[in-house]
Amino acid sequence: MNKILVTGGAGYIGSHTVVELQQNGFEVIIVDNLSNSLIEVLDNIHSITGIKPHFEQFDLADPRLTADFFTRHTDLSGIIHFAAYKAVGESMEKPLGYYRNNLMSLINLLEGMKLHGINNIVFSSSCTVYGQPDELPVTENAPFKPAFSAYGNTKQMCEDILKFTVNAHPVKAIALRYFNPIGAHPSALIGELPLGIPNNLVPYITQTGIGKREYLRVFGNDYPTPDGTAIRDYIHVVDLAQAHVVALRRLIEGRSKTNPEVFNLGTGNGFSVMQIIEAFERVSGLKLNYRIVDRRAGDIEQVWADTGYANNELGWKAERTLDEMMASAWRWEMALEGR
């Protein structure tokens, strides 16, 4: 059986990917320091798949601990690297913490791979590397724009680290640039766990719907878009998770066309903030309390993916609709309330 290390596997996207990997016959080892996740996630993965993943709790930014891990696990077929800090605003207040965590954890993993002949890595990148693209939909060939945040810059730098490392060592990499992942597993056993006040739109909406927040602030309605609110490409987290299984198989089977290979993971459709609110109201039957406020600093106007390369080359396509995304997010919020 193929043994896969999933870093950050207790987190939002990682936990959904662990489920898909297990359901596709992979044996999963999770490393997570639980800096942004809870240990209960492991039991919930077990409830979905019937398999409890092997778990180790340590900080991948620590070179000694990471090196030690590799001496104990020399038979890995590949790594999916989710572990990172991801809060854009926080990265502006603590840039060094973000550079240390996000760059060091990747470097430590690549050192271990080099030393132990582990050749395949899937890396979590982000559409944030594009900034506000000149052309929409944005293709993988669009240039990086100067980063708006230290977080975004860590993703650009990590992609550069991969680019130079695969030239020098027998490592093969796929960088997946996620657009806006939302929603939760249909079981409502795993989902996004924003600790504290959410920064992202959908958890803020569901928390407002359930009564944890008084109202949603809609950041700007004077953008040059049809309804004036900003546009993003929202993708169901289960579609996203499934793309990781496909990408990993491509690496293991040696089918990559370039190294590193880069794919956009989105639906190819843009939705405005108002369309997201309307979808929430449709699936929940509630009226959402919201107020229009000023634009949020650092936000881009609009972005959505050209998914042609991912669809044709990976043979993968996001299938779930916006209403399915919002319905699953809402079921998850209600399940959290009931716990």
Task: Report the residue number, 26 or 85, with the smaller CB distance to ligand NAD.
Answer: 85
Structure tokens at 54: 């092997």
SS3 30: strand
What single-letter amino acid sits at 60? L
Minimum distance between the CB of residue 46 and ligand NAD, rounded to whole angstroms? 17
Given 37, 149, 206, 328, the residue binding ligand NAD (CB under 6 A):
37
Sign of CA dihedral 132, 178, 144, 261: negative
Question: By CB under 6 A, is residue 140 in contact with ligand WQD?
Answer: no
118's CB contacts (< 8 A; 6+ apart) are 70, 76, 77, 78, 79, 112
Give the shortest CB-134-to-ligand NAD separation in angstroms.
21
Token pair of 47 as six digits: 């409830």
Count CA atoms within 13 Å of residue 149 on its CB side. 23
Name the strand (E) or helix (H) holding 91: helix 88-93
Residue 128 is a binding residue for ligand WQD (CB under 6 A): yes
Q: Does 114 bind ligand WQD (CB under 6 A)?
A: no
Candidate ranges 139-147, 174-182, 214-222, 242-250; the one touching ligand NAD (CB under 6 A): 174-182
Q: Which residues contact 12 (CB under 8 A, 6 or more apart)?
A: 37, 181, 191, 192, 193, 237
Does the active-site annotation cover 290? no
276 binds ligand NAD (CB under 6 A): no
DSSP label of 288: P
Q: Which of 158, 122, 96, 153 is nearest to 247 (CA)?
A: 122
In the stretch 117-156, what mask flags binding to ligand NAD with x, by CB under 6 A? Answer: -------x-x------------------------------
Residues of this chain that bind ligand WQD (CB under 6 A): 86, 88, 126, 128, 152, 180, 199-201, 204, 216-219, 230, 232, 273, 296, 299
Residues of this chain that bind ligand NAD (CB under 6 A): 8, 10-14, 31-37, 59-61, 82-86, 101, 105, 124, 126, 178, 180-181
